[in-house]
Amino acid sequence: MTEIDFIKKFLEDNIDYAREKFHDRASVTVTEKQDASDLLTEVDLTLQKRAVDQIRTAFPGDQIVAEEGEFSKLPTHPNARCWVMDPIDGTNNFVRGIFPVFAISLAFAIHGRTVSAGIALPGTGDIYLAEEGKGAYVNGTRLVVSQVQNVADARMDLDFGCISDRAAWLGRGRNLIAEGGQLRCHGSAVSALAQVASGDLDAFVHMSLNPWDYAGGQLLVEEAGGVASRLDGKTLKLFDGKSGVLITNGAIHKEILRIIRR
- Which residue among 10, 169, 204, 212 contacts a copy of itself (CB under 8 A)? 169
| Region from 67-75, 158-166, 212-220, 231-239 binding a copy of itself, contact rule CB under 8 A | 158-166
Tell which one of 37, 72, 79, 141 touches a copy of itself (CB under 8 A): 37
Comparing CB distances to a copy of itself, the nearer of 22 and 71 is: 22
Would you say the C-alpha torsion 200, 205, 206, 211 has a positive or negative sign?
A: positive
Question: Is 26 among the residues that bind a copy of itself (CB under 8 A)?
Answer: no
**Cβ(245)–Cβ(214) below 8 Å:** yes
C-alpha 108, offset from chain centre:
13
Q: Which amino acid does the sequence have at 189?
A: A
Whether the CB-CB separation of 149 and 251 falls below 8 Å is answered with yes
Distance between CA atoms of 222 and 233, rounded to whole angstroms? 15
The DSSP letter of residue 74 is P
Residue 22 or residue 83: which is nearer to a copy of itself going by CB? 22
Edge-first strand order for the sheet with 126-131 is 63-66, 82-89, 103-110, 113-121, 126-131, 136-138, 141-142
Selected binder of a copy of itself within 40, 66, 117, 194 (CB under 8 A): 194
Indicate whether 241 belongs to the interface with a copy of itself (CB under 8 A). Answer: no
Residue 173 burial (CB count, 10 A): 23
Binding mask 42-71 for a copy of itself (x = CB under 8 A): ------------------------------
* Residue 183 binds a copy of itself, judged by CB under 8 A: yes
Which residues contact a copy of itself by CB under 8 A?
A: 35-37, 92, 96-101, 121, 123-124, 126, 152-153, 155, 158, 160, 162-163, 166-167, 169-170, 174, 177-187, 191, 194-195, 198-201
